[in-house]
Structure 1
Amino acid sequence: MTAPTAPTAPAPTALTHRDRAVLRAVAAGRCALAGPTLLVDGLCCADQFLGARLTGAGLIDTAARPGPARLTASGRELLGAA
């Protein structure tokens, strides 16, 4: 009889091209957070769930909400690795 194995953590989800483009826009200072909404160049992001997904993943800092969107250290690191 074999010993049970510990469950493994799920692999991190890869970022899409859209995710990376928005992270680059945040890094360039083109984005803002208005409540739960991510604005890009003053317009609502067409993907209404993208901002929540990136902030939930810890890539965009929510401390300045409402205000300019900023990358977290993890977001900068991930974007720099691309």
Structure 2
Amino acid sequence: MTTNGYTARHRAMLQAIADGRGELVCGRTPSLSVDGLWCDFTATVELFTGGLFRPAREAAFGKPAPAVLTVSGVQVLRSLAVA
């Protein structure tokens, strides 16, 4: 584990979102894909419920929207890049 209990997987997911490669499907639980491939469900939920990323725009239930980092997400990504 790295800073704040996040792993290299979390860092890679945050970096992909920062690079504009993430897409979020909003629903009862969030689903994240990067480059068209589904990400680890548990890590997605941890990052989303931790407030580290959000949809770039509102989307209907079950519809995709680009994912963007929040201010907290940017800060965590920076701290993970240093660690």
The question of a shared fold, defined as TM-score above 0.5 by the shorter chain, is answered with yes
Unpaired runs of 5+ in structure 2?
A: none
Greater per-residue helix proportion: 2
Alignment TM-score, normalising by the size of structure 2: 0.73
Alignment TM-score, normalising by the size of structure 1: 0.74
**2:11 corresponds to which letter in structure 1?**
R
**1-structure distance, mates of 2:24, 2:65:** 5
Unpaired runs of 5+ in structure 1?
A: 1-11
Q: Provide the aligned C-alpha RMSD in A.
A: 1.8
Q: How far is the alpha carbon of 1:15 from its aligned partner?
A: 0.8
| Equivalent residue, structure 2, for 1:32 | 23
Q: Which one scores higher on RCO, CA 8 angstroms, separation ≥ 6? A: 2
**2-structure distance, mates of 1:25, 1:76:** 12
Structure 1 segments, 4+ long, off by >4 Å, are none
| Contact kept in structure 2, 1:55 and 1:62, CA below 8 Å | no
| Equivalent residue, structure 1, for 2:35 | 41
Larger radius of gyration: 1
Cα distance change, pair 24–67 in 1 and its aligned pair in 2 (3 A)? same
